[in-house]
């Protein structure tokens, strides 16, 4: 699934999270962030939720073109290994 917006913030995180959940539940295991230019901490929460959901379905999630701000936030919160490992 390609993220359908150029930002993931508290304003749209619920919609983005649900789009990702729907894609993963439908069997998609690739999330493409190539169009995302800006993220806040809610993006980290979305990604962690998607990883958990994919793992629960015995799958591994591939994250493409993660924005630098998402990587930075993941490092700050100590979850970079989870994000880089999936």
pTM of structure: 0.94
H or E segment at 32? Answer: strand 30-32
In a domain, residue 39? The reply is yes
In a domain, residue 71? The reply is yes
What is the pLDDT at residue 85?
76
In a domain, residue 2? The reply is no
In a domain, residue 1? The reply is no
What is the pLDDT at residue 84?
86
What is the pLDDT at residue 32?
98
Q: How many domains does the chain have?
A: 1
Per-residue pLDDT in tens (0 to 9) along the chain, 86 residues: 999 999 999 999 999 999 999 999 999 999 999 999 999 999 999 999 999 999 999 889 999 999 999 999 999 999 999 998 75
5 C-beta neighbours (distance < 10 Å), count: 16
Q: What CATH code is carried by the domain that includes residue 73?
A: 3.30.750.24
Task: Look up the domain containing 50 and give its range.
Answer: 7-84
Nearest to 44 by CA among 72, 15, 64, 6: 72
């Amino acid at each position: 699934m390609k993220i359908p917006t150029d930002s993931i913030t508290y304003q749209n995180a619920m919609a983005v999270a649900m789009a990702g959940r729907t894609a993963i539940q439908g069997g998609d295991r690739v999330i493409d962030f190539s169009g995302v230019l800006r993220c806040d901490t809610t993006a980290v929460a979305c990604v962690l939720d998607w990883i958990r959901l994919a793992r629960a379905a015995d799958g591994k999630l591939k994250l493409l073109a993660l924005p630098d701000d998402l990587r930075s936030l993941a490092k700050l919160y100590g979850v970079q290994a989870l994000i880089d490992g999936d």
